Amino acid sequence: MMASFDLVVIGAGPGGYTAAIRGAQLGLRVGLVEERPTLGGTCLNVGCIPSKALLESSGHFHRVRRGLEEHGIRTGPVELDLARMMARKEQVVRELGEGIRFLMKKNKVQVLQGRGRLAGPGRVAVERPDGEETLEAAHIVLAMGSVPLEIPSLPVDGRRIVGSTEALSLDTVPEHLVVVGAGAVGLELGSVWGRLGARVTVVEMLPGIVPFADRQMARTLERALKKQGLDLRLGTRITGAASRDDRVEVLLEDGKGQRETLVCDRVLVSAGRRPCTEGAGLEEAGVKMGAGGRVEVDDGFRTSLPGVYAIGDLVRGPMLAHKAEEEGVAVAEGIAGKAAHVCYEAIPSVVYTHPELAQVGATEEEVKAGGLPFRSGCFYFQANGRARCAGEGEGLVKVLAHAGTGRLLGVHVVGPSASELIAEAVVALKLGATAVQLGGMVHAHPTLSEAVKEAALAVDKRQIHA
């Protein structure tokens, strides 16, 4: 007999498993289809979580080697146990994966392992090596996530020319790593291996790093990374590459037509991601596709096929795990007949380098392009007591507010714990707060968060500690 569900979710990444949990909480009979034997999708298995585990571990290694003497701490020779570092990373991933599996059981979500394929309205085929099973569903949520973009001139071989997945599990520290792409993934993984001893060259065809960021903040991060030893080749494209034994020759060309050959032992291709829709049967079933391979949806995440929805990296908006999670909750609540809304204006983004970059709302460039009158306020961490105590005086907080109403338009942070500090700004932005209101909030002293308060005060030139 064909299994029947109120809701079938294809894909167990942050958006998919969140939609499954919320649907089950609302009384729906839910099936979750996932090709991997583990849950959590790219984010948990080969993305956000393992990269952050390595960033933490490599950060500790770097600080012990180079950052403790100013605190009066002397150490002897420090050795790297890369195998143990990798084992810890895998342990973190495994334990979190087991936690998601437990949540499925707790919420009575039926997990079906196999490749999910849309077989028409109300039907999902689950393909397994031993055969195919078809599920009936009143509602279907597509949440298959995304895969790395490929560069024709740099075919990934998994050995010398690698993608982000392989770069998370190298068994030796590269002597020279060339990173293609100065987005979050490239800079984070470049930082990991640079801290562990690799010479790192980052090649970016655009004139600046992290192109989604406010330009002032991007330039601040760029200067910090250069001081750490990252060689940033901006406005430069790769025209070809050739593997020769244990080396790779990479051909570069800058904006002036100047050509150069780099010889390295590893190339990391991190040029972005695209929606993962191959083999999912979407177009065959009648789902309308849009630009860039995205699935077209309305404000309720409905596709052109009745009863079929899409979320996360498959649809418009930034490819972020937390954006997918919010959409997962919203789509499940909508299916259950509840009002649901995602505030896209208050979705933060973070680059987990050192210092970190975090932002929410509009950049200064976007505000100017929109013709809005605005005022800005900045406060530098070098004037923040807690940052100075920690030896973390690099970076700043920048607040943008409407010149007439004072309402917050964007908040940007480059500095220590930026990924945590931005949460306060997300709350303020979502609630429609003004710079005056944010600056009027009492912040504990001494804390890094005082920099957010001072930047908000600086919008009206009322900062105290500048």
Q: Would you state the structure tokens that stand for residue 277, as one six-digit string?
A: 């829709």
Known active-site residue 465: no
Q: Which domains does the chain have, with CATH numbers?
A: 3-148+274-342 (3.50.50.60), 161-271 (3.50.50.60), 346-458 (3.30.390.30)
Residue type, 28: L
Give the pLDDT score at 1.
64
* Tens digit of pLDDT at every position of the chain (466 positions): 689 999 999 999 999 999 999 999 999 999 999 999 999 999 999 999 999 999 999 999 999 998 899 999 999 999 999 999 999 999 999 999 999 999 999 999 999 999 999 998 899 999 999 999 999 999 999 999 999 999 988 999 999 999 999 999 999 999 999 999 999 999 999 999 999 999 999 999 999 999 999 999 999 999 999 999 999 999 999 999 998 889 999 999 999 999 999 999 999 999 999 999 999 999 999 999 999 999 999 999 999 999 999 999 999 999 999 999 999 999 999 999 999 999 999 999 999 999 999 999 999 999 999 999 999 999 999 999 999 999 999 999 999 999 999 999 999 999 999 999 999 999 999 999 999 999 999 999 999 999 999 999 999 999 999 8
DSSP letter for 133, please.
Answer: E
**Which amino acid does the sequence have at 407?**
R
Give CA angle at 160 (154, 161), nearest 5°.
25
Q: Where are the alpha helices (DSSP H) in 305-441?
A: 321-335, 364-369, 385-390, 418-430, 435-439
pLDDT value of position 224? 98
Whether a cis peptide bond, with omega within 30° of 0, leads into 348 is: no
Q: Rg of the chain's alpha carbons, rounded to an integer?
A: 24
How many CA atoms within 13 Å lie on the side-chain side of 269?
Answer: 23
Neighbours of 298 (CB within 10 A): 9
Rounded-to-integer distance, Cα 146 and Cα 45, Å: 13
Task: Determine which one of 60, 341, 445, 465 is catalytic.
Answer: 445
- Positive or negative CA dihedral for 289, 295, 301, 307? positive
Q: What's residue 153's pLDDT? A: 86
